[in-house]
Amino acid sequence: MSSRHPIIIVTGANGGVGYGICQRLLLNLCGDVPEDALPQPEATPGAYQPCDYIPWTKLTLIMACRSAQRAGEARNNLLQFLDEHIAERKRQNSPFSKEMDEFRKNLTIDILLLDLASSQSTLKFCREVSQRYPYISHAIYNAGYAPWNGIDWPLAIWAVLKSIKNAVTYPQYQRQLTGVLSKDQYGLTFQSNVLGHFFITRALKPLMDKSPWPTRVVWTSSLETTYALKYANWDDPQLITCIKPYSMCKFQTQLVAHYLDLESPRTRHFVTHPGVTSTGIFLDQLNIFTSFAMLLAFYIARLLGSVHHPISWINGAIAATHVSLVALPLLNVRKKLVVYGSRATLWGKAYVGGNEMDNYSQYADKAKNLVSYCDELYETQKRRFTEQRS
């Protein structure tokens, strides 16, 4: 019994939404009330059905990060966060004190190095996972790279004047770099967001197949897909010539995830997005004044009725943890592509919404081609990796 416990990979777990996902996983699996496993009226309505890994008294969390130092600091902060939570719940005389103590004793948080922009690093990561763990129950593909290249300020100011709510929900004034390549000479945005995670899916399939429960693979998209198709060029799958590669790679993510969901007999693939969350992905572009202005604009958008501004890391994480923990029958059936998004009420309470992408069939061929293309690149890189080791 004790060997059957969730073993969860979170990519990009050291900060932003990825860190929030780890926080929520700890809060939900530690034996306390698992709020993210409850049905969500706007995404997964229905009666509560327990998942058989909740409550559990053991968890292995694999933080897949490209910096050991940043991951180490995040790991310490996570453990402190959990200890404080347990102490607080005990002060409140929680009936689950014993379960929480047992969970804490049996908790393992491992750090494994992963640079998605390097095929060799990604395959090395997969080999290490395969050697160390008996199965993978969840893979949460959160890590992402956005090739921002400054802001088109006149356009940004015009967008804010027209509608501040839309301007900070569907921003189209962020300039994106075109033509940036990784060390492997692949389109960097495509590789960091889509291809690297695809490699993990293929390389860890044997471990996913061994999971005691159908493995859940959670992919991360974005509200940016709303206008991505304006920039689609299906002859450039690596998005090297695309002027909005970030927006388009998130559309690719949805196609690939859904295609794999249809293809995998047991593993399930889901698509989520964190709404608009204040993380390094935006802040790295801004100075102290513009960062503050942006944060203020997020709160104003929420006051004006936007549901897409969870803003904090932990709020932005709710869609990914909900999809990971809610009973499987409440999630979308395979033939539908539903994108689950983190949302928040006016008062900042996080919840999950779901939108069906009802025109997937129009893109089914594109999805198939993209997956075949990723498979070709995977086979090439796997061969190279094996040759280098022998």
Ligand X SMILES: NC(=O)c1ccc[n+]([C@@H]2O[C@H](COP(=O)([O-])OP(=O)(O)OC[C@H]3O[C@@H](n4cnc5c(N)ncnc54)[C@H](OP(=O)(O)O)[C@@H]3O)[C@@H](O)[C@H]2O)c1
What whole-number distance in Å separates Cα of residue 304 and Cα of residue 165? 7
Q: Interacting stretch for ligand X, rule CB under 6 A, among 110-118, 126-134, 207-215, 334-342? A: 110-118
Q: Which residue has the tokens 């491992």?
A: 110
Q: 265 to 284, contacts with ligand X by CB under 6 A?
A: 273-274, 276-277, 279-281
Looking at the Cβ atoms of 114 and 330, the one nearer to ligand X is 114
For residue 40, state whether it binds ligand X (rule: CB under 6 A).
no
User: What span, in angstroms and rounded, lies between the C-alpha atoms of 295 and 200?
Assistant: 34
Listed ranges 6-14, 50-58, 165-173, 205-213: which one lies at the site for ligand X (CB under 6 A):
6-14
10 vs 208, which CB is nearer to ligand X?
Answer: 10
State which of positions 8-37 bind ligand X (CB under 6 A): 11-12, 14-18
**DSSP assignment letter at 234:** T
Task: Compare residues 18 and 34 and give the one whose CB is closer to ligand X.
Answer: 18
Measured from the CB atom, is 195 or 337 closer to ligand X? 195
68-100 burial, b at 16+ Cβ within 10 Å, e below that, comes to eebbeebbeebeebbeebbeebeeeebebeebb
Minimum distance from residue 303 beta carbon to ligand X (Å): 18
* Shortest distance, position 18 Cβ to ligand X, whole Å: 5
Find all residues with CB under 8 Å of 288, minimum gap 6, and list them.
Answer: none
Q: Residue 211 CB, nearest distance to ligand X (Å)?
A: 23
**Strand-strand pairing, 174-176 and 338-344:** unpaired
Task: Verify binding: residue 338, ligand X, rule CB under 6 A.
Answer: no
Looking at the DSSP bridge assignments, the partners of residue 64 are 11, 112
Q: x/- string (CB under 6 A) for ligand X, residues 212-241?
A: --------x-x-------------------
Binding residues with ligand X: total (CB under 6 A): 28
Q: Residue 237 or residue 274: which is nearer to ligand X going by CB?
A: 274
**192 is an interface residue for ligand X by CB under 6 A:** yes
For residue 341, which phi and psi values (nearest 5 degrees)?
-120, 145
Q: Which of residues 42-71 bind ligand X (CB under 6 A)?
A: 66-67, 70
**Cα 208 to Cα 263: distance, rounded to the nearest angstrom:** 14
| Alpha helices (H) in 95-190, listed in sequence order | 97-106, 119-132, 153-162, 164-167, 188-190
Site string for ligand X, 135-164 (x = CB under 6 A): -------xxxx-------------------
Angstrom CA distances, 130 to 127, 204, 206, 208, 388, stand at 5, 7, 9, 10, 18
Tell me the closest approach of the beta carbon of residue 368 to ligand X, in angstroms. Answer: 24
In the complex with ligand X, the residue whose CB is nearer, 103 or 313, is 313
Instruction: Give the residue among 338, 342, 385 at the shortest CA–CA distance from 21.
Output: 342
Chain centroid to CA 146? 14
Footprint on this chain of ligand X (rule: CB under 6 A): 11-12, 14-18, 66-67, 70, 114-117, 142-145, 192, 220, 222, 273-274, 276-277, 279-281
